[in-house]
Amino acid sequence: MREVQSTDSPSLLCRLYVLTGNRQHSRNARVDMASGKETTDEEEFLDDGCIFCLIANEEDKEAEVIQRSNELVCFKDICPAAPHHYLVVPRKHIMSCLLLNKEQIGLVEKMAEMGKDVLRARGVTDMNDISLGFHQPPYTSVDHLHLHVLAPKSQISTLFAHKFIPDSPRFITERTLRRCLQEITPPHNCLFDCLSFF
């Protein structure tokens, strides 16, 4: 693994993170070094040490899975911050919202729609009193993209409220994330490229 230098550009750092992070790539994956994008002929990218990958692939029997699709899985959060607190994760291992790009806006929309469908199926009728969002590193508990689906938003526990402040450095709403992804323009490849960390 190459050591990252402080003089490296954010674009290079993003590509290095994508290419080297947590064995997230299958053996037959090919990476375009210019764009940092990866393609594979066989399996989706999985991290065999990631609990969310295990849940998504039905290898964790303790998780209470609520809904599945070909791309996504929704399950109950093990430490709920509201009466309804679910996580929607892609089956594909993506480390965080910072590694998303413009082409993945549809994925974010599908995650939000699954979360809303689960809430409706569970009897939540006031869609104005919900919270949908992503924690941003370093505030993520699991390095696998996951959408928090909370309802009612007005009943988020005071013990956890600081973790779900909309559009704070800790928590970005699904709407804001989609807007930010839409604004990515070349030469940027992912959301991480667009942030002014350096």
* Reported pTM: 0.77
Confidence of residue 52 (pLDDT cuts 50, 70, 90): very high
pLDDT(31) > 90: no
Section 142-169 average pLDDT: 97
25 is catalytic: no
Is 10-194 assigned to CATH 3.30.428.10? yes
- What distance lies between CA 79 and its chain's CA centroid? 18
> Minimal CA–CA distance to 44: which of 144, 149, 139, 141?
144
pLDDT(104) > 90: yes
Where exactly are the structural domains of the chain?
A: 10-194
Catalytic residue (one of 84, 93, 146, 148)? 146
